[in-house]
């Protein structure tokens, strides 16, 4: 089966950077770690699986993939998080920054990387990647039993790590407040993203913003290159997620009602409103907070690829940053 334009474009981007990495003698045995961002429902998991197969078949590379979804808190821990943050709907269910087990994700990434600082060398060839089953608890989801986890064995040439909010970076308090109060004073009632943002209190948004720093500190440092799968209109996620949930239920699995899916996605919209503009317009590896071209642009150029999809999830544009 021929690979889709999305898969071919991303695979070519990965292979080029992989060979560039391997030209450096001291990095000749180091895996390339790829961060992948894409909105809910865009088909990230399918794309990652197809990339793995494509890279194996066309380049004979050893590739493994995992998702930030794999590291969601257990159902019980998520319930406890919600109880500890009364009234904060952004932390009521899984999804937003703060609802992942950061330490577990860091541990698994380190083991996949075969980190020299990993103290447990005896099991370095037996890495278990957690599996989060979204069909459990009537669609609320829960971490599956260990016997359902994915057992893999390093070393790997390529590690793919995907997630809907991977690549989002926290804003300064003043930046967030500026966006929030500008949105709050915005009177056009047809902009649904603005309405979703101001439906939450500033303090609750600041809590999510603070949580993002843990992802930047513990997860982002692993990434060598970055792929951003974007949508022409972020509101496509409503249709995409509804399709996915209906498909899951048609297979006899548990799932959310259409109303629950819409409510679920509503909780993600504030993060898209706050953090997507920077990811869309700035190389992931630039650290400048003012969203202007970073000083080391030439150093970072070519490590960030953006793909833009239409409502049918077809590739309509690609930009190397």
129, β-bridge pairs: 150
Least confident among 160-174, 214-228, 230-244, 281-295: 281-295
Distance between CA 72 and CA 137 in Å, rounded?
A: 14
Distances (CA, A) of 70 to 93, 115, 163, 208, 221: 15, 20, 10, 20, 19
Least confident among 22-26, 31-35, 79-83, 306-310: 22-26
Cis before 139? omega within 30: no
Average pLDDT over every residue of 210-234: 97
Distance between CA 304 and CA 302 in Å, rounded?
A: 6
The pLDDT mean for the chain works out to 89
What pLDDT is stored for residue 194 in this prediction?
52
- Cα dihedral 181, 182, 183, 187, rounded to 10, equals 110
What pLDDT is stored for residue 116 in this prediction?
47
What pLDDT, in 10s, does the model give residues 122-163?
555 789 999 999 889 988 899 999 999 999 999 999 999 999
Q: pTM for this one?
A: 0.91
Tokens representing 170 are: 């926290």
What pLDDT, in 10s, does the model give residues 155-193?
999 999 999 999 999 999 999 999 999 886 654 454 555
Q: Could you give the domains of the chain?
A: 5-320 (3.40.50.300)
What pLDDT, in 10s, does the model give residues 60-112?
999 999 999 999 999 999 999 999 999 999 999 999 999 999 999 999 999 99
Q: Give Cα 117 to chain centroid, integer Å.
A: 25
């Amino acid at each position: 089966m021929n690979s889709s334009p999305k898969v071919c474009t991303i695979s070519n981007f990965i292979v080029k950077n992989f060979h560039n990495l391997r030209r450096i003698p001291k990095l000749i045995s180091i895996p390339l770690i790829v961060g992948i961002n894409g909105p809910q429902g865009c088909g990230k998991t399918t794309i990652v699986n197809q990339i793995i197969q494509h890279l194996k078949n066309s380049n004979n590379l050893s590739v493994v993939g995992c998702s930030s979804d794999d590291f969601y808190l257990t159902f019980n821990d998520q319930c406890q998080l919600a109880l500890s943050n009364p009234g904060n709907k952004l932390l009521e269910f899984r999804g937003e920054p703060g609802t992942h087990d950061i330490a577990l994700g860091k541990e698994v990434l380190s083991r996949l990387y075969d980190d020299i600082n990993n103290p447990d060398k005896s099991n370095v060839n037996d890495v278990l990647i957690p599996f989060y089953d979204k069909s459990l608890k009537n669609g609320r989801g829960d971490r599956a039993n260990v016997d359902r986890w994915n057992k893999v064995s390093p070393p790997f040439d390529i590690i793919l790590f995907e997630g809907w909010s991977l690549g989002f970076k926290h804003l300064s308090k003043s930046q967030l407040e500026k966006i929030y109060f500008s949105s709050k004073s915005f009177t056009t009632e047809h902009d649904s993203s603005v309405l979703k943002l101001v439906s939450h209190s500033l303090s609750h948004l600041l809590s999510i913003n603070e949580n993002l720093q843990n992802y930047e500190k513990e997860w982002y440092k692993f990434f060598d290159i970055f792929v951003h799968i974007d949508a022409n209109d972020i509101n496509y996620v409503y249709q995409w997620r509804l399709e996915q949930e209906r498909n899951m239920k048609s297979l006899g699995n548990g799932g959310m009602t259409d109303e629950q899916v819409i409510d679920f996605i509503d909780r993600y919209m504030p993060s898209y409103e706050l953090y997507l503009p920077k990811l869309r317009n700035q190389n992931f590896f630039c650290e400048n907070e003012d969203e202007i071209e970073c000083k080391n642009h030439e150093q970072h150029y070519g490590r960030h690829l953006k793909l833009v999809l239409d409502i049918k999830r077809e590739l309509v544009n690609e930009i190397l940053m």
